Each structure stands twice: as structure tokens, then as C-alpha cells.
Amino acid sequence: MSLVVQKFGGSSVADAASVIRVASRIAQYAKAGHEVVVVVSAMGDTTDELIDLAEQVTPNPPPRELDMLLTAGERISMAVLSMALNNSGVAARAYTGSQAGVITDEVHGKALIQKVTPGRIRSALDAGNVAIVAGFQGVSQGTKDITTLGRGGSDTTAVALAAALDADICEIYSDVDGVFTADPRIVPSARRVPVISCEEMLDLAANGAKILMGRSVEYARRYGVPLHVRSSFSGRLGTIVSDDAERMVPVDPGVTVRIADVPHLDAADPSKELSVDTTDPGLEAPIISGVAHDRSEGKITVVEVPDQPGKAALLFDVVASSGANIDMIVQNSSTTDDTVAISLTLPEADSDVALAAIEQARETIGFSEVRYNNQIGKVSVVGAGMKSSPGVSATLFRSLGEAGINIDMISTSEIRISVVTDISRLDDAVRVIHTAFGLDAEQTEAVVYGGTGR
Amino acid sequence: MSLVVQKFGGSSVADAASVIRVASRIAQYAKAGHEVVVVVSAMGDTTDELIDLAEQVTPNPPPRELDMLLTAGERISMAVLSMALNNSGVAARAYTGSQAGVITDEVHGKALIQKVTPGRIRSALDAGNVAIVAGFQGVSQGTKDITTLGRGGSDTTAVALAAALDADICEIYSDVDGVFTADPRIVPSARRVPVISCEEMLDLAANGAKILMGRSVEYARRYGVPLHVRSSFSGRLGTIVSDDAERMVPVDPGVTVRIADVPHLDAADPSKELSVDTTDPGLEAPIISGVAHDRSEGKITVVEVPDQPGKAALLFDVVASSGANIDMIVQNSSTTDDTVAISLTLPEADSDVALAAIEQARETIGFSEVRYNNQIGKVSVVGAGMKSSPGVSATLFRSLGEAGINIDMISTSEIRISVVTDISRLDDAVRVIHTAFGLDAEQTEAVVYGGTGR
């Protein structure tokens, strides 16, 4: 009997009707004989409404009290979901993060899980129940206060419980069908990726793919938990995130398959099952597995920084101390004098504090000017195949050049290339890159990643 | 330094503005140097909204899951109230019933408190915080599941915490100014009762006064906790419920008085302080302290029950087994045959199950007919002075007779007389009785109870 952890996000349980629909999906698994643990987020806009309420009484809610308030959201959704399951004849019991043994540090609002002691959940399963657990929340080890895990916290709850319970799969349900080779709203021919490695998923997440937070993927990789990202609306197969192609995983009620054998669907025609060729692994490995994009960053350029040892380090020190997260960095030496221009990208939300901190250090660093531009977009290609394919960057730059798209900044890692362009050309950039690497559904030469048995 | 427990009901924290107003009252106590524990109900209609949500997914929510759902209501109100207090410069921390050590049995929906272990609350006070506690909820000793205490549960939480913390007073805030000699909506000249004994308060509660549930008064009597029922809107003195006239209690921020010296206000002119004469205790004790009424009951009459030993007992047995709560019972012997008619009153909500149970026992009991009438009202006079005043019932019946009000049933206890009338005459009955016993504010001979130092 396999153990399945299923996480449902807020859009999957937006109202009573959605809760009933989700309960019916869970019930199918339970009735097929799987042990099921469900992690659920707050219903629809509940969390935003609770934050609004807090803001009506104070501009600065104390973090401990804010956590207490926000955790009411999952308390409601998990109780209602449990009721719906019981109503459909499936025994279920709901548990708070604290009751489920999600032990965290004491950093309210973005607590880190320290350990999971799922004794009550194990007992509930042994007694024949579906266990429903509140996502996003835990209890601090020292102070026994209620904590929240911050963004993507419910995914992390699900993965952590799956690890602690040695689950066979951790399914992350949302409103999209899985990981695609690019955002289907920008590239209509984008295709679903049936299987992807943890490293690639991490790079996609870090470069703008919103389907999974890197944090939960990191957790899954560390504990060897296979993830299955899929839609609670379609019920179709989604994307399995795993590094172990030989592992057997449940993919539907009563259906367990080897990851290497996971069938995949053509996104252009979801009814069409593509056969998977596992006889020749590696040879047809696609060079890139996906194109990610990000509109949420801005670019700071510091002009005429003295070209002296330590000045650049000082600048980054100042920015880091302001609490801003730096993403990309580019430094250009001037050819005419002894100064350099340093550009960096960072989340737009962090730009104010970073700009203020840099301005304050003007005399110490000795630059002449700071510029800020939020009209930028970042496009990234990610793929494990890049490691052994030196032509990738040439293909990338050529495709952008032919489309007349200027490249502003470039940053690379072993399996990723990111470029910054003007935001007005970002969608074009995603499309031409997707085509250049043969990812479009109609291109016969395209091999969807996962066909090699990873 | 005195310890004050303050309970605020849902109407006192209906929205963010109300929460801020309540926080400002609490802050006055904290800034005057009192230790303050606050028990809070769910905001406004939250509980009803959560019940609606449950009913959208199932007609029969499992009690355990329903408790989990409903406790989200106080979680929200306590967190928001704590935020508002912190915002006004008063350190506060919110605690769930479980965290506050409210240990109950396992009867979901109407759990009984088994013990209170307020270690975390005591520590929070010692660290200089106002402690906010979720009312209405606890955690079961055995299963460690979240429970709710049922109707009036937040009052009970407050009294139980006050007892466990040895508080100097337990203030119950609502939207009325205290206990009145009759419902001011029916008797405009009704006067506030400044001090009342536990026994009288229990009898008033049992006979329709909605201001306090008997359960919390019973708890207060057992543990000797003085209660102060007052309005969160006016801030005026309300009604102190206590059997110990010599006890010192805090009644306003920084103000502590002997209960016997509690000043009282003329309800007709709330600005006018009446002096309290404590020199002649007992002589002017009023005969009755209040007139209560109740419209929520119905009357079942079972006709032609054989006048044989055991038949009446069998009838009550049948009704009790149906789960219905019997209030009054009257049996009339027939003068013409060997049968009796038995009438009983009970909450209208219980009438269906009781009638069905009686009907099912028709053959066993052998009666001829069952009648049901929900157009009845009950009016009760309550007063410890009745014990030594044999003329009370005569005054009562004379006043009703002179007003042409028929008496349908009568029930008495040592300190109470209740009569059932047609519901159309109930308000008249309350008014004529209030006047007959000299309780009207303009009657100079009226002595408001409490003047004798009880």
C-alpha cells in the first residue's frame, strides 16, 4: 500500500464547491487503497483578507500575533475539507501544523522547519483515516508559539511530511498542468515536461518559474522525495520532479509506474499519449528543458566607481546590509579612465532600501551617479544538457540577435544562461528562444525532456 | 497589584473599530497597573459564517472537525485584539485555549472544563504582558483534540481562568449595562441591580435572563470568583455577582472598593450616583431582586393519562430519553374519572423529539391525546427575600388577576415563583409584576437590591 501526500493550494479550495471537488479526488485515492495525507492552504483570498483586517488595527502587526492570525486560514480550509471527505464516506481527520509535528525555529513569518515528528499523522493513517494537515504553519521548538513558513510554505509542509512519513510521492496540485517548456500564455506551443531533475527545477524556480518555490524542491532533493506537480482541475498527469528514474511512484488512484516509464501528454493535444523511448538514454537528451522568464526585477547601475581593489566589494556589502537580494552582477571596465560601471539586478521590492543604502555610501565608495531601471525582463534557458553542449550560448545569442532583441546583461551557471532585455521585448525573447531550441510542439525534431528516462 | 480578567463578547469586537475601542479600555487597566487577562469571543457574525460554510459541504459535520473549524473564529479575534493593544503601546500576547491550559473532556461541541493549567498565562503576566485568551475553546485531556465549550463557553473560559489565576474580579462585558430588575425594553422604568447573589443570578439565568449563562455563574460560585457584568460601550458600573459583601474588588482602572460599598447608578438618570446606605443591613432588603421572562418554551399537555402509580414517571422517562429538557411540570387530577392531565414546558427546539417520543409510547402509557402549544410565555420573580416573605405569591397573583392575565401553570422554588401565561400577555405580566413589587425607578419606596451590603 503506497502513501501519497497531496498538497492543494488556495485556488484549488477557493470555495465550498472547490472543496467538494478536491475531496472527491482525494476520495478516489483513499478508495483505491492508498494511504493519503493532504496538506491544504487557506481558501482563496482568506490570507489576504486576514492581512487586511490586521492592517485595519495596526500598521505594524507584531510577527507572533500575525502568525497566530494567518494560521486561522488553514484551520478553516482543513476542517471544511475534512468535513467534505467524511460526507463522501471517507474517514478523515484534520490536524494543525503543531498537531502534525511540524517543528520550526522561532522566526515568525518565515520560520524554517527543524524537524517533523508525525506521530499523530501516522496513527491517524493506521486507524484508516485520511489525514488533513494545515500547510504553511508549525510550532516553534523553544517558545511553543505558532509560526508560519512564509512564501511557498504549504509546499514545504507537504514535502517535509512526505520525507518524514517516507511517502511514495508528494503531489503538488495547483491550477496549471505542470512544468512547461515556457509559459504557455507567451508561447502557445509550449509543451509540458513530464519529468525533470531537481537541479533543473531549482534553476527554473530561481529564474522566474512560479510553479514551485526552490525551497521545497531543495527539501525534496535532500530527502529524495519525488514530486508530482499537476492540476487539481484537469486531473491529468503533470510533471514529476525527481533524480531517480528507477523509482516506482503512484501517479493515479491505484496506478503505480516507474518514473522512467511515465507517459507524457502532448500539450497541444492533451488527449494524445506519446510513447516514451527509453532504449537510448542520453543520445537524444534535449539541450534545454525549459525557458523561464521574470518581470519582477529592476536594475541598478552605479557609474564611475573608482577601479580600485575593494571598491566593488564595498558596494555589494552595502547593498547586502540593506537586506536586498542581489541577483545578477555585471561590471564593465571603462576604456577611457580608471573607473568602472557596476550593474546589478534585484527584486523591485528591494530597490528602495538598496538605492538608499548606496546613496548613503556615496562618499565612502566614491562613485559619481546611481541609475535605476525597472523596465527590464530576464529570460533564462535551463537544461542539464548544456553541460556538454558548448553551442548553447551561440544559439541563444544568435536567435535574439536575428530578432533584433538587445542583450543588456548576461549571467550563466553550469546548466543555465540568463539574459536581461528591455521589458517590451521579453515575450518575443521567450518565443524566439523556445523555437531556436526546438521546443515548439509542432517541431518534429523536438524531444521533450524526460524521454531519456530521467 | 490586582489581577483582572475581562471577557468581551462578539458584539464588543464586531469589527476593527470595535476591537480598537476594546483595546483602549483594556489599555487603561494595564496602564493603571492591573494585571489583565482578556478572554475574547469570535468577532461579530464569524461563528455563524463558519457554520454556514460547513453546511455548504455537509449536512452533518463531524463534531471534532466542526470544533476545529469554529475555533478559527476566536483565533482571529484574539490575534487582532493583541495587535491593537501592541499598537497602543501595551505589550500583549494572544493564546489559544489549548495554550492557556484549558483542559476539557472529549465531548465535542459542549465540552466541560476539567482543569485549567495557566502556566503560560502566568508567565506572560509576569513578563509584563496583557494575556489575550481565546474563549469558548479548550483541548481534550485524552485525545489532545481541540474542543469547544458550547453556549456561553467564553464566559465559562473567563471564570475558569479567573479561578485558576486567583483573579480579583472577572468582568463580563456585553452590550448591556448589567442585570436589570426587568428587561428595560419591556419595562422602561427597570433599574440596574448593582449587586446580586450567585443564587439569585442562577435563578434569573435559568428563567430567561440572557445576560449570563447559569453555567458560568455556577462556576463562579463554586470557586468564589466575583463577577462584574457590564457594558463595553458605556464603561459604566454594571452588576456585581457575588456572595461576599466584604470582598475588595477592582471596579475601574486603578479603583478598588468593597463590594458592600459599590456605588450604583439610577438607570433612569445614569449620571446620578445614588449613595448606598449600609448602616441598616437587612431591614430594607427588597423582597424580589428581578423579574425575568422567557418566550422560548412550548407546552406539551398529555390528556387522560391513567391515574395509576408509575404512569407519570414513565411519561417523564420517555421525554428525558428523547434528549429534551423538561422545565416546569403540572399535573391536574380529573374530578370526573380516573385519569390525570400532565402538562410540561420545554424549549421549543426540543419539542419535536419529545412529541415523537411521547407518541411512540402511547400504548405503553395509555393516554388519549397529546396537545402542543408554543404560544406561551414564562415570567419569574426571583429574590432571596422571598424565603422570609410569605406574602409574595399573593402579591404576584393579585397583580396578575387585577390586570386580567390568566395564569396557566405555576412553579416555585425557595427563591423564585414562575408562572406561564399566554404569550400575548407576557409583556403586560412583566410590567405589572415589576410595579407590584416596587421596582419601578420612580417609586420612592423602591430599594434597589444591593443597598443592604450583599
Per-residue pLDDT tens over the stretch A35-65: 999 999 999 999 999 999 999 999 999 999 9
* CA B429/CA A64 separation, integer angstroms: 54
Q: How confident is the model at residue A448 (pLDDT cuts 50, 70, 90)?
A: very low
Q: Is the pLDDT of residue B29 over 90?
A: yes
Q: B37: which residues sit within 8 A by CB, 6+ positions away? A: B3, B4, B5, B6, B121, B125, B130, B131, B133, B161, B162, B165, B167
User: What is the model's pLDDT at position B442?
Assistant: 54
Do residues A243 and A309 both lie within one domain? Answer: no
Q: Are strands A102-104 and A113-116 parallel, antiparallel or unpaired?
A: antiparallel
Do residues B251 and B399 both lie within one domain? Answer: no
Of B216 and B321, which is predicted with more confidence? B216
Looking up cell 428525558 gives B320
Calculate mean pLDDT across residues B300-313: 82
User: What is the model's pLDDT at position B389?
Assistant: 67
Do residues B296 and B414 both lie within one domain? Answer: yes
Question: How distant is the Cα of B9 from the closest Cα of chain A, in angstroms?
Answer: 18
Is B450 within 8 Å of B257 (Cβ atoms)?
Answer: no
Partner-chain contact B93 A64, CB within 8 Å: yes
User: What is the model's pLDDT at position B65?
Assistant: 97
Partner-chain contact B57 A84, CB within 8 Å: yes
Q: Is the pLDDT of residue A15 over 60?
A: yes
pLDDT in tens, B341-391: 888 889 998 899 999 999 999 999 999 999 999 999 999 988 877 766 667
Partner-chain contact A62 B86, CB within 8 Å: yes
Partner-chain contact A79 B69, CB within 8 Å: yes
Helix (H) or strand (E) holding B116: strand B113-116
Do residues A263 and A304 both lie within one domain? Answer: no
Nearest by CB: A80 against B59, B69, B94: B69
* CA B285/CA B262 separation, integer angstroms: 16
Question: Which of A258, A170, A259, A148 lies closest to A217, judged by CA?
Answer: A170
Q: Is the pLDDT of residue B439 over 50?
A: yes
Q: Which residue does chain B place closest to A20, by CA atoms? A: B57
**Which amino acid appears at position B357 of this protein?**
A
Partner-chain contact B69 A50, CB within 8 Å: no
DSSP result, B30-99? HHTT-EEEEEE---TTHHHHHHHHHHHH-SS--HHHHHHHHHHHHHHHHHHHHHHHHHTT--EEEE-TTT
Domain span at residue B319 reads: 287-438
Kindly list the residues of chain A whose beta carbon comes within 8 Å of any beta carbon in chain B: 16, 19-20, 23, 50, 53-54, 56-62, 64-66, 68-69, 71-73, 75-76, 78-80, 82-84, 86-87, 92-94, 96, 99, 120, 144
Of the listed ranges A408-412, B248-252, B298-302, the least confidently predicted one is A408-412
Do residues A308 and A234 both lie within one domain? Answer: no
Q: Is the pLDDT of residue B240 over 70?
A: yes
* CA A398/CA A378 separation, integer angstroms: 17
Partner-chain contact A16 B57, CB within 8 Å: yes
CA distances from B47 to B66, B96, B217, B352 (A): 11, 16, 24, 26
Calculate mean pLDDT across residues A422-432: 93
* CA A52/CA B204 separation, integer angstroms: 42
Nearest by CB: A58 against B69, B71, B83: B83
Of the listed ranges A124-138, A385-399, B121-135, B184-198, the least confidently predicted one is A385-399
* CA A405/CA A391 separation, integer angstroms: 19
Q: Which residue does chain A place closest to B51, by CA atoms? A: A80
Question: What angle, 0 to 180 degrees and rounded to 10, lies between the N-to-C axes of helices A63-87 and B46-57?
Answer: 30
Task: Tell me the chain A residues in contact with residue B64 when contact means C-beta distances shorter than 8 Å.
Answer: 93
Task: Tell me the chain A residues in contact with residue B59 when contact means C-beta distances shorter than 8 Å.
Answer: 87
Does the residue A282 lie in any domain? no
Does the residue A141 lie in any domain? yes
Does the residue B263 lie in any domain? yes
Of B213 and A171, which is predicted with more confidence? A171
Helix (H) or strand (E) holding B297: strand B297-306
Does the residue B454 lie in any domain? no
Partner-chain contact A62 B68, CB within 8 Å: no
* CA A405/CA A408 separation, integer angstroms: 9
Question: How distant is the Cα of A73 from the closest Cα of chain B, in angstroms?
Answer: 8
User: What is the model's pLDDT at position A287?
Assistant: 67
User: What is the model's pLDDT at position B410?
Assistant: 79
Task: Tell me the chain B residues in contact with residue A86 when contact means C-beta distances shorter than 8 Å.
Answer: 58, 61-62, 65
Partner-chain contact A80 B54, CB within 8 Å: yes
Which cell is B335 given? Answer: 374530578
Residue positions counted in chain A: 454
Instruction: Give me the CATH number covering residue A423.
Output: 3.30.2130.10
User: For a pLDDT cut of 90, what percent of chain B falls above it?
Assistant: 54
Question: How distant is the Cα of A273 from the closest Cα of chain B, in angstroms?
Answer: 36
Do residues A260 and A228 both lie within one domain? Answer: yes
Q: Is the pLDDT of residue B264 over 60?
A: no
Phi, then psi, of B194 in degrees rounded to 5: -70, -35
Do residues B133 and B261 both lie within one domain? Answer: yes
Mean pLDDT of all residues belonging to chain A: 86
Of B246 and A1, which is predicted with more confidence? B246
Do residues A268 and A298 both lie within one domain? Answer: no
Residue A302 backbone class (left: φ over 0; alpha: ψ -120 to 50; beta: rest): beta
Q: Collapsing DSSP states into helix, strand and coil, what is residue B13?
A: helix
Calculate mean pLDDT across residues A222-228: 95
User: What is the model's pLDDT at position B448?
Assistant: 32
pLDDT in tens, A251-307: 999 889 999 887 654 444 444 333 333 333 333 445 677 899 999 999 999 988 887
* CA A330/CA A409 separation, integer angstroms: 7
Nearest by CB: B87 against A58, A68, A96: A58
Do residues B263 and B292 both lie within one domain? Answer: no
pLDDT in tens, B65-114: 999 999 999 999 999 999 999 999 999 999 999 999 999 999 999 899 99
User: What is the model's pLDDT at position B449?
Assistant: 31
Q: Is the pLDDT of residue B268 over 70?
A: no
**Domain finish residue from A274, A299, A316:** A274
* CA A344/CA A316 separation, integer angstroms: 9
Question: How distant is the Cα of B210 from the closest Cα of chain A, in angstroms?
Answer: 30
Q: Is the pLDDT of residue A157 over 90?
A: yes
Partner-chain contact A76 B62, CB within 8 Å: no
Q: How confident is the model at residue A397 (pLDDT cuts 50, 70, 90)?
A: confident
Task: Tell me the chain B residues in contact with residue A60 when contact means C-beta distances shorter than 8 Å.
Answer: 87
Task: Tell me the chain B residues in contact with residue A87 when contact means C-beta distances shorter than 8 Å.
Answer: 57-60
Q: How confident is the model at residue A134 (pLDDT cuts 50, 70, 90)?
A: very high
Nearest by CB: B82 against A65, A71, A76: A65
Does the residue A279 lie in any domain? no
Nearest by CB: A76 against B72, B80, B144: B72
pLDDT in tens, B378-426: 999 888 777 666 677 778 888 888 898 888 887 777 778 888 999 999 9
Is A57 within 8 Å of B19 (Cβ atoms)?
Answer: yes
Instruction: Give me the CATH number covering residue B98.
Output: 3.40.1160.10
Does the residue A89 lie in any domain? yes
Helix (H) or strand (E) holding B299: strand B297-306
Task: Tell me the chain B residues in contact with residue A84 when contact means C-beta distances shorter than 8 Å.
Answer: 57-58
User: What is the model's pLDDT at position A390?
Assistant: 63
**Domain finish residue from B224, B244, B274:** B274
**Which amino acid appears at position B207 of this protein?**
N
* CA A209/CA A176 separation, integer angstroms: 12
Mean pLDDT of all residues belonging to chain B: 86
Q: Collapsing DSSP states into helix, strand and coil, what is residue A411?
A: strand
Task: Tell me the chain B residues in contact with residue A99 when contact means C-beta distances shorter than 8 Å.
Answer: 144
Do residues A170 and A90 both lie within one domain? Answer: yes
Nearest by CB: B80 against A19, A54, A73: A54
Interface test with B, best of A76, A98, A120, A147 (most B CBs within 10 A): A76
Do residues B347 and B265 both lie within one domain? Answer: no
Q: How confident is the model at residue A189 (pLDDT cuts 50, 70, 90)?
A: confident
Partner-chain contact B50 A75, CB within 8 Å: no
Number of domains, chain A: 2
Does the residue A280 lie in any domain? no
Is A341 within 8 Å of A303 (Cβ atoms)?
Answer: yes
Do residues A145 and A225 both lie within one domain? Answer: yes
pLDDT in tens, A352-379: 999 999 999 999 989 999 999 999 999 9
Question: How distant is the Cα of A5 from the closest Cα of chain B, in angstroms?
Answer: 20
Task: Tell me the chain A residues in contact with residue B120 when contact means C-beta distances shorter than 8 Å.
Answer: 144
Please count the residue pairs, one from chain A and one from chain B, whose beta carbons lie less than 8 angstroms apart: 112
* CA B425/CA B412 separation, integer angstroms: 20
**Domain finish residue from B214, B239, B274:** B274
Q: Is the pLDDT of residue A388 over 70?
A: no
Strand partners, A332: A341
Task: Tell me the chain A residues in contact with residue B72 when contact means C-beta distances shorter than 8 Å.
Answer: 72-73, 75-76, 79
Q: Which residue does chain A place closest to B20, by CA atoms? A: A57
Question: Looking at this predicted complex, what is its ipTM?
Answer: 0.75
Of A213 and A76, which is predicted with more confidence? A76
User: What is the model's pLDDT at position A209?
Assistant: 78
Does the residue A450 lie in any domain? no
